[in-house]
Amino acid sequence: MARRKSKPRLGKGLDALIPAGERPAGGVREVPVQHILPNPHQPRTRLSEEELDELAASIRTHGLLQPLIVTRIEEGAVGERYQLIAGERRWRAAKRAGLERVPVVIREATEQQMLEWALIENVQRADLNPLEEALAYQQLAETFGLSHSQIAERVGKSRVTITNMLRLLKLPPSVQQLVLDGELTEGHARALLALETEEEMLAAANAVRRRGLSVRQTEALVRRWREGDEVEAERAAPSPLDAELQEQLQAALGTKVELRRGKRGGKLIIHFYSDEELDALYRRLVGEA
């Protein structure tokens, strides 16, 4: 029986940061936690206070089992100082737990490597919000001149995945914030990109949130919108002329009337609340009243 090929791993984890040949016995040392500075290229912008508290409680009981990855940035009269490469969540939790010293592995690293390694760690742990991940890829592309294929090779993903993630940055800032806040998923956001204007994307995003639509339902909503149907998405407020016309229709018919404009024409929705009201509306509209 032929052996099944194993699936490719996402990145290389700690092996990417500390190759086996560079991890001899005693390679891990302890340094004062206050001597470590955060990684300025850390792609993760938000850390859950609840998660930090839970991790801090675990560290108080069991200690910090996995070393942080740091690079040396300063020594001499001031003393050694280190900049974090990977492990920011554990570093912050260790400080919260009251640890005075933490285990580290010291590596030489360029700015590009600091971003790459922090990104690899967060991607492997699924710690990054989709927009945080996209912003990190953008920094690798713009600051360090990496192609989508080169980024994909470094983080263990396909080039298509990198390209699709970067497309999220074409969303309006207000919609990007919804992704950052976790109110829209990557799937929702990618569906909204099929709309033509920022106003349409924001209006559709509001409809998705209000109605609790799934990704598949969002894709269907966007298709109907592109075909010219208004659906129930929150468009801009009606113009003064349309608002006045709507009020006149409501007064004439004696019931609620909604005037909705689409890309081609629009809809006039007349509400009724009983068969008797429907019959009265019919007579009025066909001239029998």
Q: Classify strands 68-74 and 81-86 as parallel, antiparallel or unpaired.
A: antiparallel
From the list 54, 75, 88, 108, the catalytic residue is 88
Say how far residue 101 (Cα) sits from the centre of its chain.
34
DSSP output for 209-260: HHHT--HHHHHHHHHHHHTT--TT---PPPPHHHHHHHHHHHHHHTS-EEEE
Are 107 and 86 within 8 A, CB to CB?
Answer: no
Side chain identity, residue 192: L
Q: Is 84 exposed, middle or buried (0-12, 13-18, 19+ CB in 10 A)?
A: buried
Rounded Cα gap, residues 243 and 57, in angstroms: 58
**Residue carrying structure tokens 């010293």:** 101
Q: Collapsing DSSP states into helix, strand and coil, what is residue 97?
A: helix
Q: Find, among 86, 95, 149, the residue nearest to 118 by Cα.
A: 86
Helical packing angle, 130-144 and 173-180, nearest 10° = 120
88 tagged catalytic: yes
Please give the backbone phi and psi of residue 102, each rounded to the nearest 5 degrees, phi first: -135, 150
Rounded Cα gap, residues 87 and 159, in angstroms: 26
Residues marked active site are found at: 88
